[in-house]
């Protein structure tokens, strides 16, 4: 297959030849034999997004998400690789639990990695015998799944992971820095969750995690960093960070409208911190964007602020939101490419992914950079059926390719009501990126 006249993220116009699962050549290419030709004139061709932080909820909660629905949502949003976190039911803290999740992931239409977790019941010997992507999300405060751990166990896990050559991803919040007085606020005070889980709690945990990593000689990755102070602390220590679309595009000012649909961990921050995160994203201090895609049902979310679970969906809307921001001049297309593909590939050793270069996997996404449509939860493919970005404009893929195969193709333009644009998916072609071929 030869994709012609495509515009790449750096502004070059190029042809891209796909042979089997790989990119064979990039440049001004002559025809070869009877290859299929796709004309991409006026379109932007990107490497597929690598989302290193999703919760696809299986095993345990298929009512919220399954590997089929979650991977469909990913592919429709231009994501070709996801990394699933361990706080499922049962949590992925033993080799047996890892095997159960790996079997459930078989229908995935995108590539994936599976993280192992750490609790008092973890079995590191059996867990490290599996093809782990990383160890994490290691929780330094309780979140969905109640997997928060003590400092001694964190240090022990970090040492073991370092010996095994496995990266540790950290959920950095220090519960001792939570503001317990916020608990006196009523359940319909939707800002109470942000007041409770303070910015100081994140900063203290980031600094401590980085300090321990330095003592051990490890290099951790800080998940869903929600404050500029946390980003700066990790950067000073030589650690990497990710930020989420909800911390980039939403703030505490949106909570009156969002209600508990805006509750997540870490919580939304004030507008000044949101803007400061954007500054660090643009200037290169932030390493990557990951979604922390964490769907819950409407029934669960329609509770008071102290009862509703934390988490929002986002795997289908992250790249479209960032591309729309690039279209509006808020960030460059090259920076979007690096944040969503090149940087996570480099950080986590995915040598065949992340860039449009000869020899890399043909994980490709085609978009019309000037074609937008509003986000509507029922039009998305996540099982939960809602989005915190309702009515935000996004630049969505026309098609998504995984290792040379189309895994998503939009067959109509524009939203068509419930279910969104008609789409074709290719199921069961994803594979664990840590499993040797």
232 tagged catalytic = no
d(Cα 295, Cα 55) in Å, to the nearest integer? 8
Write the burial class of residue 130 (CB in 10 Å: 0-12 exposed, 13-18 middle, 19+ buried): buried
d(Cα 185, Cα 190) in Å, to the nearest integer? 9
Q: Which of 254, 292, 363, 379 is catalytic?
A: 292
Write the burial class of residue 313 (CB in 10 Å: 0-12 exposed, 13-18 middle, 19+ buried): buried
Nearest residue to 139 via CA among 184, 177, 172: 172
DSSP class of residue 252?
Answer: G
d(Cα 365, Cα 379) in Å, to the nearest integer? 20
DSSP class of residue 341?
Answer: I
Please measure the distance between the N-terminal and C-terminal CA atoms of the chain and give it in whole angstroms: 23
DSSP class of residue 354?
Answer: S
Q: Which residues of 34-67 are buried (b: 16+ CB within 10 A; e: fewer)?
A: eeeebebeebbbbbbbbbbbbbbbbbebeebbbb
Cβ–Cβ < 8 Å for 342, 334: no
Cβ–Cβ < 8 Å for 172, 223: yes
| C-beta atoms surrounding 146 within 10 Å | 10
Write the burial class of residue 208 (CB in 10 Å: 0-12 exposed, 13-18 middle, 19+ buried): middle
The sign of the torsion formed by the CA atoms of 94, 99, 104, 110 equals: positive
d(Cα 145, Cα 121) in Å, to the nearest integer? 14
Strands 13-19 vs 2-7: parallel, antiparallel or unpaired: antiparallel
R_g of the chain, CA atoms, integer Å:
21
The catalytic site residues sit at 292
């Amino acid at each position: 297959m030869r994709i012609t006249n495509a515009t790449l993220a750096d502004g070059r116009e190029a042809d891209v030849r796909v042979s089997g699962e790989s990119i064979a050549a990039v440049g001004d290419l002559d025809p070869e034999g009877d290859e299929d030709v796709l004309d991409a004139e006026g379109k932007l061709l990107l490497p597929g997004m690598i989302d290193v932080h999703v919760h696809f909820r299986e095993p345990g909660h298929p009512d919220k998400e399954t590997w089929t629905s979650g991977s469909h949502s990913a592919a429709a949003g231009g994501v070709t690789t996801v990394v699933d976190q361990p706080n499922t039911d049962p949590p992925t803290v033993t080799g047996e639990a890892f095997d159960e999740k790996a079997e459930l992931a078989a229908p995935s239409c995108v590539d994936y990695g599976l993280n192992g977790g750490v609790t008092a019941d973890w079995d590191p010997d059996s867990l490290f015998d599996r093809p782990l992507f990383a160890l994490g999300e290691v929780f330094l405060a309780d979140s969905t799944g109640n997997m928060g751990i003590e400092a001694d166990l964190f240090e022990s896990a970090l040492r073991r992971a370092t010996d095994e050559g496995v990266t540790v991803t950290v959920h950095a919040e220090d519960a001792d820095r939570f503001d317990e007085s916020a608990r006196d606020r009523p359940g319909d005070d939707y800002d109470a969750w942000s007041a409770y889980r303070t910015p100081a709690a994140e900063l203290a945990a980031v600094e401590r995690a980085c300090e321990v990593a330095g003592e051990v000689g490890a290099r951790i990755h800080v998940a869903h960093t929600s404050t500029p102070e946390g980003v700066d602390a990790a950067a000073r220590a030589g650690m990497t960070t990710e930020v989420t679309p909800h911390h980039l595009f939403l703030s505490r000012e949106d909570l009156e409208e969002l209600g508990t649909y805006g509750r997540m961990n870490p919580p939304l921050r004030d507008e000044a911190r949101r803007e400061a995160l954007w500054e660090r994203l643009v200037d290169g201090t932030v390493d990557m964007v990951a979604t922390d895609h964490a769907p819950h049902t409407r029934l669960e979310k329609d509770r008071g602020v102290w009862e509703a679970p934390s988490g929002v969906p986002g795997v289908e809307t992250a790249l479209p939101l960032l591309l729309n921001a690039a279209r509006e001049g808020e960030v460059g297309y090259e920076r979007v490419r690096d944040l969503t593909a090149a940087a996570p590939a480099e950080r986590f050793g995915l040598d065949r992914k992340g860039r449009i270069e000869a020899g890399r996997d043909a994980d490709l996404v085609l978009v019309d950079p000037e074609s937008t449509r509003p986000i509507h939860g029922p039009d998305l493919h996540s099982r939960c059926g809602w989005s915190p970005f309702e009515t935000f404009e996004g630049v969505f893929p026309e098609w998504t390719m995984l290792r040379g195969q189309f895994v998503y193709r939009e067959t109509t333009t524009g939203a068509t009501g419930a279910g969104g644009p008609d789409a074709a998916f290719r199921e069961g072609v994803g594979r664990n990126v840590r499993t040797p071929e």
